[in-house]
Amino acid sequence: MPNEKLPFIHSEMIFTYLTYSMGWVMGGLIVAAAIALAIHVGGMIRGLRDRYAKALVIGLFSILCLQFVWVIGMSFGLLPIIAVTLPFISYGSSYTTIELLMMGIMLSIYRRKDMVGSLGDSTSPMKTRIE
């Protein structure tokens, strides 16, 4: 069985396993999906006007981005092997729920970007006039 050489194949080494068993095309597809997600979130960030919402999305996505980079770096031997799982793909991790929760929060923030303007906006329904 050739998979006995890869430790924790269902969680930390899933990128290595998928590349090993399905070829470099699958590894390239995973990297392309991660880049497409980064481009999409970058567009989300540009569309946000509220500084707090923008900072929250940047912070949450930086955690996911660090996981993607770390797992791919581990697979190529550039980074040390630690217990970091590939977001949305790895199995057997309690972090999967947290990753999906973070993505849901980011999408919820973007969905509500036009509901309330920032406090400096004169058309904001939440702005109160003090005289």
Question: Does residue 130 sit within a domain?
Answer: no
Find the helix or strand (DSSP H, E) in which 94 lies: none
Domain total of the chain: 1
pLDDT reported for residue 21: 86
| Mean pLDDT score, 46-65 | 92
Give dist(CA 12, CA 70) in Å, integer: 10
Q: What is the pLDDT of residues 19-28, one digit of tens each?
A: 888 899 999 9
Question: Does residue 57 sit within a domain?
Answer: yes
Boundaries of domain holding 25? 8-111
pLDDT reported for residue 14: 82
| Mean pLDDT score, 88-102 | 81
List of residues 6+ apart from 125 with CB closer than 8 A: 116, 117
In the structure, what pLDDT confidence band is assigned to residue 131 with cuts at 50, 70 and 90? very low
- Lowest-pLDDT range, 2-6, 11-15, 51-55, 114-118? 2-6
| 20-to-58, 84, 90, 104 alpha-carbon distances in Å | 33, 19, 15, 31
Give dist(CA 65, CA 38) in Å, integer: 8
Nearest to 74 by CA among 89, 84, 60, 64: 84
